Each structure stands twice: as C-alpha cells, then as structure tokens.
Amino acid sequence: MPAPHTPSGAAQDDDLVFADETPAVAPHGSGAWRVLIVDDDADVHSTTTFALGSLEMHGRPLAFLHAYSAAQAMALLERERDIAVILLDVVMEQADAGLQLVRHVRDTLGRHDVRIILRTGQPGYAPEMDAIRGYDINDYRTKSELTRTKLYTSVAAAIRAYQQIHALEDSRTGLAEVVRANTELMALHSVGEMTLGILREVAALAGQPADGLLCACPPGTPAVGWQVLASCGPSASYTHDGMLLRGAQGPAAAIAQALAERRNLVRDDHLALYFSGKAHCDFAAWVRLARPLDGLRRGLVDVFTSSIAVGLDNVALMTDLHRAAFYDPLTGLPNRTRLVELVDDSLQTRADATLCLVDIDQFAETNDALGHQFGDALLVAVAQRLRQRLDARLALARIGGDIFCVLGQDDLIDPPAVQDLFAAPFSIEGQDVQVSATLGLVRLREHDAGAADALKDADIALKRAKSLRRGGHFYFSRSMGVEIRERVRLMHALRSGFARGELFLAYQPQVELAARRAFGAEALLRWRTEDGRFVPPDRFIPIAEYSGLIIDIGAWVLREACAELVRVRAAGHLDFTMSINVSQVQFRHPHFVDMLRQALLDTGAPPERVELEITESMAMEEPDLLIERLAEIKRTGVSIAIDDFGTGFSSLSYLQRLCVDRLKIDRAFVTEITDAARGSSIAEMVIELGRNLGLSIIAEGVEDERQAQILQTLGCPLAQGYLFARPLAPEALIEWLGSDVLTRAA
C-alpha cells in the first residue's frame, strides 16, 4: 500500500491566486465545489482535507466526499451528482481499481464533466498513457510529488476546467434555446401572438416566470404613454385601455430609460429591454425578475433581443400589409379579398349560408352632389349601423364603392329586415340623409363553384334586382347563371368573329316622304357567324359594349360607313347622307372625336354628309360631358340625331342646349299610329316639338303606306322603314339607289 503523503510546508508561499479570477459566467450550481476523495488509506483523506480545506474558488469553498474503495466510490457516484473533482488513488482493491473506476465514470455513467486527478503511491503503478488520454484525466501525480502547493494548483485547475465545461454546456443549450425561440416566433403571424411569444421566451431564457409587457414605441416622447402589444402575468395590471401610461416609477420609467439609452437594462428585480425597429417604430419590454440574472442568462437575453428585433419589424410590416390587403381603410370592415376567404370557408363547411350584397341606391348621385367627403361619411355611417344592428354572428364586409356584403346562416338573413335598417335617415355632418338599398342574394348551398363565382352570382342577382326596382331584392337562380355563361361564350365568339371579318354593315335607305326620294341611309351592323347564322345586333351590341369591344368595332363602323358614303358619292349621289349609330360607351371614350376625325380623313368623306345617331337615354346621362362632346363633334361638321326619341324623358330646355339637328321618332310610336288616335299620338307630339325647336324629324319603322301618309300629314317629312327598303347589303345599296323602286311604288 502506498505511504500516506504528508502535505509539505507552508501555505503562505502558495502561488495560487484565485481572488482576481472573475468568471465570464457564473459557476454552475451554487454552494461548495464538491471534491470526492477516493483512497483506501484513511490518512490520505485527512491530509487532503487538511491541505485543501481553506481553498476557496470564486467565493465558493470546497466540500469533501469520501470513499475508501473503488466499489464504495461507484455506489456514491451513482447517487451524487454535481461532483467537480475526484482525487483518485490508482491502486486499491486491485492494482488497477482506480482505472476501472475511471472507465466506469466515463463510459458507464457517461459523466464527462467531472475532473479526475489520479494519485498513486508508487511510480511503478503508473497507468498507461493511453488510459490517461482516453479517459480525460486531468492530472496524474505520485503522492510524493504532490506537495500542498501542487495539490492546490492541480485541484484549482481541475475546478476551473469543470466550471468551463459547464459554462460551455449552459451557453450551448442557451443559444440553442435562442435559436429555437427565434424560429418558433417567426412562425407566428400576428403582432399579438408574436409579442406575447417574445415575452414568454424572454422569461424562459431568463429562467423566470412569465410576467411582463411589451410596447410599441414610435419616435418622439409620447404624451400619454405607449401602446401595449402584449402583457402576461401580474404585469398585465399596468395596462390601462391598452396603454402603458407614462410614469416616474415602475415599468414606464424603466422603459423610458431603456429607450433613451437604446439598450437593455438589467436590474435585480426587472429587465427593461430595447428592440430596435427599422420600420419607423422601436419596441420595448419590461420583464419582472423573481431573482437576479446570472451572467450567462444576461448574455442570452441580449442575443435574443437583438436577434428578434428584425422579426418584430417584419411582423409589424406584415400586419400593416395584412390590414391593407384584407381590410377596407375607410370603414375598417373586411374587404373583397377577405370576404372571398370567408365565403370559401363557408363553402367548405357546407354551411347553409347566404351571401347578400347590399348596394346603396343612388350613391353616385349623392357623392357627386354633396362631395366625396360627405359620401365617405355616409359609407362609414352605413357600416356602423349595419354592424350595430345586424346579428353579431353575421360577417360584414365592404367589397366596393357603395356595396356592402353580409354573410351568414340563411335564417339570419332576411332581406326586408336588412332593408329596414335603412328606414331611419343617417345623420351626416348635421344633415339627415335618407338612402335605400337594393339587395342581391345567393344561397351558397345551391352553389358548387368557388367563392369568386358565388360573388359574381350575387352581383348578377343584384343587377337583376336593380333593373326590377330600386330598394328591392333578388335571389340568384341557376337559370340566371346559364344566361350569363351564354353571354360570356358570345363575347369570346364576337371577339374572334370581329377579328375574322364576320361583321359587316347593312344600309337602310331613308326617304323624303313627299318626293319619295332617298336622301340617305342608316348604317346597321350585322354579324354573320362562321356557320352562316345571323346574330341580331340587339343581342351582340350590348355584349360588345359590356366587354369594351365596342370601341374597336365602333371605330371600324365609322370608317366603313364613311367609305361607303364615298362610294355612293362616286356613283353620282352627291346629296346623300350617311347615318351612323354610336353607342354610349364609344361616345364616352376620351378619343372618340379623334377616331371620328381620323375616319373622315382616311376615307375623304365630307363631314356635312355624315350624321351620328345617339340614343335618347344616353342623352340624359352626364349632361355636362354630353354637351361638351356634342359641341366638339359639331365643330368637325358632322351632324347629330337623337335615336329612339320619345322613349326617354328629355326636357325641352335640355334638348335646346344639346344643339342636335334631328329627332328620330321611335318605331314603337310609329307602329301605334292609327287613324283613330292620330290627334293625340306621341308621334304627333314629337313632330310638334321638333317644329318648335327647329329640328329635323324622321320617323323610323314605317311599315305600311297608311303610316307614311299619316306621318306626312302630321308634318313629318322624312321616314325609314320596311315600306321603302329593308337594310341592304353593301353591294345592293348603290344598285337600289339607281333604280326607281320608290317612285314606282308611290
């Protein structure tokens, strides 16, 4: 057995200086450093404790555990953790008992942190160098070598190594925590979720209960305080109406200081965290600490706050974007995009839901008459009333200018009840405004396509409702959908048909009743499809208008009719006038007059021999634009007729301002002319009106001689109709003009 070693001499010459060692991080655990002495010689135990008893490292003393055999040590190590150093005798029960214990500690117990110093009595029992390397042994000394000073040094070094291993371990797990926290927070999509997540993660990293608040801090000193984005634990009580009020103490004061210093402040009982934001807003948090933070955790909190600031920024931006993308800024209601999502949800859950569009009647007029600000205020008031009065289970959205949408269970949506919400006037800027609403509804149950289609269908129902009666409502039905699809099909066919040259003009002669002489013709658009079928203009022109195709088609009509006029003139009919129909969409186009000029220029048609027909209904909309446009057209030398006259309600004075040249009596009034009613007919009134205003008058749709004669006696000099000629193919017109059919017929 090895002789017990007596520690040598004085401790005063010891070269161990621990006092100035400031740890980078706090030591693992607290209390004493635990040192296990394993030796079968009891004397070694007492001399070692005597030699090291006064050693302190980082303010922590040593505490000793004792084992007198390898077996005893094994048992002890099974139950005791947190042992920093083992001072281990090599030779005990067996010559290699110490080394076997080392293997057991490292391999079997998997304890890699504990430091091991091997001591042996006889140099001859030195373990192989391989074992020392392989089993992470800190020191290997013969007992005689191990003076008190050397023992001190060796144990101190071992404790330092133990401490570093733990510090590394802690920061590795700590950093892994930060990375995990970051990744998890990035997956959250709302400011609320994310900020609450941040508070919880800070608390977790600090090893504390979650208790704190997080605020948005835009630049400048706030008058009242900061908006609290999230709070948790007892700190939630610092929040008043969602604000953290300014104050000289507590969280508000700490946050103000962190913002002023632009850094994290760590106090014993709280943290004030500063998150520097890029998107014109910083953030700050206050977290209560149940106990002071150690250095490692401080470091982790710092790393976390600087890494999360970017994410916080992104979430703030995302929330802004989310709001802009899904909410109407004026009313704060969900917008069309959001509604489509909601409808999709309803479609998926197969709920018996109804989609109801609420269109405010005559909103455009109110807006024009009273100004946009007033219009906006009205929309806000409507939004408020709908939100307050409708069942809270119903979703509400604003999906367009003056169109709101209500979505929810069938039985919660009653059209008359929705309309009743508009019964009381809205008070806007001190004025009472009375509006009504028209509803278009679709039952999602009867609908198998997506949300966008459901909305389209509701829109179709709304249009139908409006065409029937303002202030009414209409439910979408499948047959309406079929009709619409047919129109869409026709639109595509028209587009390609126009490109393929399937459109052409027919010309219906216009005659002087007295002389029975043709003085002009009206150009009428025809579409013969590939398979030889004719699609009537009343059917395809509205589609061309609706699709915008009428602009190109209309320009082509202008040019084609002018070209025909030039050909007719070339055939010798110099006083011939060409009448061309112009649709409202085309007429409103900003370049319409340019297109007209271009057609005249390109074909060389004389403007004074060209007449444009606009409908009376069109003459009644947007009077200012119309008057201006008409004057511009008149300057080109082209004259103007009002088509289908008598069907609208143009006022006399208005007609005068329009400076038109001719009125065309609508076919309906020509048809109703009978001998009996001749005195009081609309046709007669129109003729009278034209005469008073000094306008030329023409009757259209004259089908028989009787009508022609009555019109003539009533004072209508000009006419057009099947009586004289059907619309003629281009080749046929000049031939017809050259013949004497009219005079023969008369």
Residues that bind Mg ion (CB under 5 A): 581, 613, 643-644
Interface pick for ligand C2E out of 52, 285, 382, 541 (rule CB under 6 A): 541
How many CB atoms are located within 10 Å of the residue 736 CB?
18
Residue closer to ligand C2E, measured from CB, 211 or 613 = 613
Residues in the interface with ligand C2E (CB under 6 A) total 24
Closest CB 713 distance from Mg ion, rounded Å: 22
- DSSP labels for 112-152? -SSEEEEEES-GGGPPPHHHHHHTT--EEEETTT--HHHHH
> Does residue 305 belong to the site contacting ligand C2E (CB under 6 A)?
no
> Does residue 504 belong to the site contacting ligand C2E (CB under 6 A)?
no
Closest CB 672 distance from ligand C2E, rounded Å: 13
Max Cα separation, the chain? 154
Among ligand C2E, Mg ion, none, the one that 557 touches (CB under a kind-dependent 5 to 8 A) is ligand C2E
Among Mg ion, ligand C2E, none, the one that 727 touches (CB under a kind-dependent 5 to 8 A) is ligand C2E
User: Which residues sit opposite 119 in a β-bridge?
Assistant: 89, 141
| Two tokens, residue 185 | 């927070």
Name the strands in the sheet holding 473-475, side by side, starting at the edge strand that comes first in the sequence: 395-400, 403-409, 353-360, 437-443, 473-475
182: helix, strand or coil: helix
> Does residue 537 belong to the site contacting ligand C2E (CB under 6 A)?
yes
Closest CB 659 distance from ligand C2E, rounded Å: 21
Closest CB 441 distance from ligand C2E, rounded Å: 33
> Does residue 582 belong to the site contacting ligand C2E (CB under 6 A)?
yes
Interface pick for ligand C2E out of 60, 703, 717, 730 (rule CB under 6 A): 703
Among ligand C2E, Mg ion, none, the one that 40 touches (CB under a kind-dependent 5 to 8 A) is none
Among Mg ion, ligand C2E, none, the one that 297 touches (CB under a kind-dependent 5 to 8 A) is none
Among ligand C2E, Mg ion, none, the one that 711 touches (CB under a kind-dependent 5 to 8 A) is none
| Two tokens, residue 235 | 């700190």
| Size (the chain), residues | 746
Stretch that binds ligand C2E, among 201-209, 388-396, 443-451, 536-544 (CB under 6 A): 536-544
Closest CB 688 distance from ligand C2E, rounded Å: 22
Residues 6 or more apart whose Cβ sits within 8 Å of residue 721:
667, 670, 699, 700, 701, 702, 703, 707
User: Which residues sit opposite 141 in a β-bridge?
Assistant: 119
Closest CB 437 distance from ligand C2E, rounded Å: 32
Residue closer to Mg ion, measured from CB, 441 or 506 = 506
Residue closer to Mg ion, measured from CB, 120 or 581 = 581
| Contact call for residues 90 and 109 (beta carbons, < 8 A) | no
Interface pick for ligand C2E out of 557, 619, 655, 734 (rule CB under 6 A): 557
Residue 745 CA: distances (Å) to CA of 179, 511, 646, 742: 99, 13, 30, 5
Residue closer to ligand C2E, measured from CB, 546 or 722 = 722
Binding pattern for the stretch 656-695 against ligand C2E, x by CB under 6 A and - elsewhere: -----------x----------------------------
Residue closer to ligand C2E, measured from CB, 357 or 702 = 702
Distance CA 47, CA 45 (A): 6
Residue closer to ligand C2E, measured from CB, 203 or 523 = 523
Closest C-alpha to 287, from 308, 273, 300, 276? 273
Residue closer to Mg ion, measured from CB, 438 or 581 = 581
Distance of CA 96 to the CA centre of its chain: 74
Closest CB 579 distance from ligand C2E, rounded Å: 8
H helices of 449-604, in order, are: 451-468, 478-499, 537-547, 550-570, 584-588, 592-603
Torsional class of 172: left (φ above 0), alpha (ψ -120 to 50), beta (otherwise): alpha
Residue closer to ligand C2E, measured from CB, 258 or 716 = 716
Stretch that binds ligand C2E, among 75-83, 266-274, 566-574, 719-727 (CB under 6 A): 719-727
> Does residue 733 belong to the site contacting ligand C2E (CB under 6 A)?
no
Closest CB 416 distance from ligand C2E, rounded Å: 38
SS (H, E, C) 589-642: CCCHHHHHHHHHHHHCCCHHHEEEEEEHHHHCCCHHHHHHHHHHHHHCCCEEEE
Closest C-alpha to 357, from 477, 447, 463? 463
Residue closer to ligand C2E, measured from CB, 536 or 590 = 536
| Two tokens, residue 69 | 């055999």
Closest CB 669 distance from Mg ion, rounded Å: 11
Among Mg ion, ligand C2E, none, the one that 91 touches (CB under a kind-dependent 5 to 8 A) is none
DSSP 334: B
How many CB atoms are located within 10 Å of the residue 620 CB?
14
Distance CA 382, CA 737 (A): 63
> Does residue 525 belong to the site contacting ligand C2E (CB under 6 A)?
yes
How many CB atoms are located within 10 Å of the residue 68 CB?
17
Residue closer to ligand C2E, measured from CB, 311 or 721 = 721
Distance CA 358, CA 465 (A): 11
Closest CB 654 distance from ligand C2E, rounded Å: 21
Residue closer to ligand C2E, measured from CB, 68 or 519 = 519
> Does residue 646 belong to the site contacting ligand C2E (CB under 6 A)?
no
> Does residue 358 belong to the site contacting ligand C2E (CB under 6 A)?
no
Closest CB 713 distance from ligand C2E, rounded Å: 19
List of residues contacting ligand C2E (CB under 6 A) = 508, 523-525, 536-538, 541, 557, 581-583, 613, 643-644, 667, 700-703, 720-722, 727
